[in-house]
């Protein structure tokens, strides 16, 4: 095996970091250099033997153009606070609670045409002749019914690019001018941006890769009047609107656009909401239009002999990398930020590009590289999660972002980066473009979004921790590095007929969210299809509130399949006799306590075929159930940990009736995992902890070797 010592690595640089960049490039074997927001690429480094990436902004860094064309600045739909009328007239101040340096009410386009006033007590639209906009005071004056609540949905111009604002605040920039953000979809700006890109390509002959950050529409990132984040939705389409775009949408869709399709009662159609038909239509329309225009920019880049790379972040809305139209753009590469195994798979699973690249954490920003910060621990935790997923679905390249001068002041951090880069190259050398062994069946994750939002389930803003969701994100984090092929499926696919390769379905999330499914569970076609699937030998795993929708005397509509339901207070009069019996295949590796995370309370087992493996007082937290020829497993929650990975792995094999297959390739210690590359005859055993671990390796059910692993070690064995 030839181990590469260079390549597959991109480093950031800056004007005052020439010698240090060259030193680190040699030390780490980097083959590409990049600039970042707020940095510049020095001339001396353009002559280095390295691929040169240049960050290219299609929507900002040209305030002159934006100021000369104020009507073509990006726009966002906002919704006012809910205000209760105390009389027959109400005044609502539109910008209350918003940051006026970021947003400015659009009075250029007709408020009566594009705004909406809604009586939130009845849900009815207030007719346009019953309200007026008082531009002088910035208030909407409404004829009201006393003690009804009202909101105004309105268009505002984004007069400070949200990501530039975020970087400005995070890095405490003092003298950088606020960057305006213009709308490339508008005809005048579109023509200008294309010519500008051609000129830029001509003026930058030494740039090899144009890294678009990204294309046209920023995800929803709105700040409040104290410069704090007010609303962050990494998947949000609220800032991809303008009358120009919406008129085109109306022609395409054949019906009138309403602001409510976007602001959605004030939820801004967060990914947690069950998407309406109109919102899905709008997403599809945006995908079609964005991919068409993005292709024109990519073609310009290619005409100058350069590669086109897209950053999966910032202005990525409409590109939807798992959507139907993404491959049409013709990109060479996608790069994205790797927060964990899930976000790694979000990048590495993308098809339709020549290579994928992950930007590992931490970002070289002063909020981490500071006294009391822990960039080394952060890098180790980031790599342990990313490595599991890379072994399953590898990125082609890795890199870092931010200010190199900050990282260079931490020599032990650079040593950690060296370890990461060496292991990454080792993985590629051992797998040689072959696929890791996976179980002989597929696992389906069932939610309202399916493959469009592959590896995006239960996330607000990717890889950030939220108390309400870590018990669900843990499920897909575990799966990101498991020996199973995962499909993300919708309820419509269940109605149409399941892929026969899927042997286990997982439904995980809070009741009434897009992840659990809400009213889909009242559809007899859905519940009957899954009952049939399990009855005939399939497996079903529910986490949190699976199949939850209060209907016909049940909260979990698959309570018969799961063997559990949740007490909402309606069935307190019915006695429940739950008894623990923790002796089970799923828990054979787990003698101690189990972490159910936030979990769900008041879950009780019911029926005749259940076994309770873990209890919380008189209620249950982990239950298995037999249903016909099939099996189900219920978890009240499952945050990510090496132990929970093992429990879920065993639960999947159990639900699939494949317990024997699990021991084909196996390591005994729950803090360790293995990945097998049958074609190259290599086994990687990884220690997912910062402590030394002993583990026993089994191949084809036979004990092969006892291993002593150092903290975080990755050991290669021959098959």
Q: CA 683 to CA 716: how far, in whole Å?
A: 6
Instruction: Tell me 224's DSSP state.
Output: B
Reduced to 3 states (helix: H, G, I; strand: E, B; else coil), residue 169 is helix
Question: What are the angstrom distances between the C-alpha of 468 and each of 457, 497, 540, 640?
Answer: 13, 32, 23, 14
Q: Which residues are catalytic?
A: 314
Residues in the chain: 719
CA-angle at 491, arms to 488 and 493, nearest 5°: 70
Residue with tokens 């105390």: 86
> Distance between alpha carbon 301 and the CA centroid of its chain, in Å?
28
Before 214, cis peptide (omega within 30)?
yes
Hey, how many other C-beta atoms are within 10 angstroms of the C-beta on 188? Answer: 14
Reduced to 3 states (helix: H, G, I; strand: E, B; else coil), residue 436 is coil
CA 585, 591, 595, 601 dihedral sign is positive
Q: Are 581 and 563 in contact (CB under 8 A)?
A: no
Residue with tokens 């291993």: 707
Burial (CB count within 10 angstroms: exposed 0-12, middle 13-18, buried 19+), residue 679: middle
HEC secondary structure over 299-351:
HHHHHCCCEEEEEECCCEECCCCCCCCHHHHCCCEEEEEECCHHHHHHHHCCC
Where would I find the beta strands (DSSP E) of 271-338? 307-312, 333-338
Q: CA 321 to CA 319: how far, in whole Å?
A: 6
> Distance between alpha carbon 234 and the CA centroid of its chain, in Å?
7
Name 706's bridge partners.
696
> Measuring CA to CA, which residue among 40, 330, 32, 337 is closest to residue 213?
337
Which H or E run contains 477?
Answer: helix 470-480
Residue with tokens 């209760």: 84
Helices (H), 171-230: 187-203
Residue with tokens 């390739």: 665
264: number of CA atoms within 13 Å, CB side?
A: 19
Residue with tokens 């590409």: 32
Residue 7 is encoded by which pair of tokens? 């390549």
Pairing of strands 9-12, 32-34: parallel
Reduced to 3 states (helix: H, G, I; strand: E, B; else coil), residue 241 is strand
> Measuring CA to CA, which residue among 305, 351, 302 is closest to residue 326?
351
Q: CA 544 to CA 476: how far, in whole Å?
A: 14
Before 362, cis peptide (omega within 30)?
yes
> Distance between alpha carbon 153 and the CA centroid of its chain, in Å?
27
Question: What does R_g of the chain's alpha carbons equal in angstroms?
Answer: 27
Burial (CB count within 10 angstroms: exposed 0-12, middle 13-18, buried 19+), residue 253: middle
């Amino acid at each position: 095996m030839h181990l590469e010592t260079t390549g597959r690595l991109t480093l950031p640089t800056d004007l005052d970091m020439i010698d240090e960049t060259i030193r680190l490039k040699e030390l780490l074997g980097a083959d590409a250099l990049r600039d970042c927001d707020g940095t510049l690429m020095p001339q001396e480094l353009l002559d280095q033997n390295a691929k040169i990436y240049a960050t290219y902004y299609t929507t900002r860094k040209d305030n002159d153009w934006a100021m000369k064309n104020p009507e073509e600045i990006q726009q966002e739909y906002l919704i006012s606070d809910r205000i209760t009328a105390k009389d027959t007239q109400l005044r609502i101040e539109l910008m209350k609670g918003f940051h006026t340096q970021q947003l400015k009410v659009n009075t250029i386009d007709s408020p009566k045409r594009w705004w909406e006033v809604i009586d939130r007590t009845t849900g009815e639209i207030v007719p346009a002749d019953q309200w007026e906009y008082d531009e002088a005071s910035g208030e909407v004056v409404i004829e009201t019914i006393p003690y009804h609540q009202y909101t105004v949905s309105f268009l505002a111009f984004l007069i400070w690019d949200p990501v530039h604002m975020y970087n400005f605040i995070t890095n405490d920039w003092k003298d950088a001018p606020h960057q305006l953000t213009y709308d490339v979809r508008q005809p005048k700006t579109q023509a200008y941006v294309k010519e500008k890109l051609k000129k830029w390509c001509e003026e930058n002959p030494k740039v090899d890769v144009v890294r678009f950050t990204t294309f046209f529409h920023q995800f929803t990132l709105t700040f409040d009047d104290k410069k704090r984040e007010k609303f962050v939705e990494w998947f949000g389409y609220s800032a991809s609107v303008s009358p120009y775009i919406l008129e085109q949408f109306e022609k395409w869709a054949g019906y009138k656009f309403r602001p409510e399709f976007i602001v959605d009662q004030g939820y801004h159609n967060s990914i947690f909401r069950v998407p309406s038909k109109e919102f899905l239509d709008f997403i599809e329309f945006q995908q079609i239009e964005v991919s068409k225009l993005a292709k024109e920019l990519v073609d310009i880049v290619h005409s100058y002999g350069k590669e086109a790379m897209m950053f999966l972040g910032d202005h990525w809305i409409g590109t939807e990398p798992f959507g139907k139209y993404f491959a049409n753009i013709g990109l060479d590469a996608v790069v994205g930020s790797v927060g964990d195994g899930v976000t790694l798979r979000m990048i590495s699973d993308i098809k339709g590009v020549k290579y994928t690249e992950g930007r590992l954490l931490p970002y070289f920003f002063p909020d981490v590289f500071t006294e009391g910060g822990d960039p080394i621990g952060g890098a180790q935790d980031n790599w342990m999660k990313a490595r599991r997923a890379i072994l399953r679905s590898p990125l082609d390249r890795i890199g870092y972002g931010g200010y190199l001068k900050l990282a260079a002041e931490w020599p032990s951090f650079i040593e950690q980066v060296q370890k990461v880069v060496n292991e990454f190259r080792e993985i590629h050398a051992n797998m040689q473009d072959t696929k890791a062994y996976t179980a002989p069946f597929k696992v389906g994750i069932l939610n309202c979004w399916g493959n469009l939002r592959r590896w995006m389930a239960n996330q607000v803003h990717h890889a950030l921790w939220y108390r309400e969701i870590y018990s669900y994100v843990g499920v897909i984090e575990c799966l990101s590095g498991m020996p199973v092929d995962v499909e993300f499926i919708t309820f419509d696919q269940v109605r149409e007929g399941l892929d026969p390769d899927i042997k286990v379905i997982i439904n995980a999330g809070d009741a009434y969210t897009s992840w659990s499914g809400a009213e889909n569970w009242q559809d007899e076609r859905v519940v009957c299809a899954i009952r049939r699937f399990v009855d005939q030998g399939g497996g079903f795993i529910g986490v949190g509130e699976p199949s939850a929708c209060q209907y016909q005397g049940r909260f979990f509509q698959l309570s018969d399949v799961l063997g559990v339901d949740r007490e909402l207070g309606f069935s307190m009069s019915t006695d429940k006799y739950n008894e623990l019996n923790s002796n089970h295949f799923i828990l054979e590796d787990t003698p101690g306590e189990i972490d159910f995370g936030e979990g769900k309370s008041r879950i009780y087992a019911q029926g005749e075929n259940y076994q309770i493996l873990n209890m919380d007082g008189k209620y249950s937290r982990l239950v298995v159930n037999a249903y016909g020829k099939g099996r189900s497993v219920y978890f009240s929650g499952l945050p990510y940990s090496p132990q929970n990975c093992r429990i879920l792995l065993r639960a999947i094999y159990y639900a699939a009736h494949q317990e024997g297959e699990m021991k084909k390739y196996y390591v005994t210690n729950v803090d360790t995992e293995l990945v097998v590359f049958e074609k190259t005859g290599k086994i990687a055993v990884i220690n997912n902890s910062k402590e030394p671990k002993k583990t026993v390796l089994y191949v084809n059910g036979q004990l092969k070797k006892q291993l002593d692993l150092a903290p975080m070690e990755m050991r290669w064995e021959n098959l």
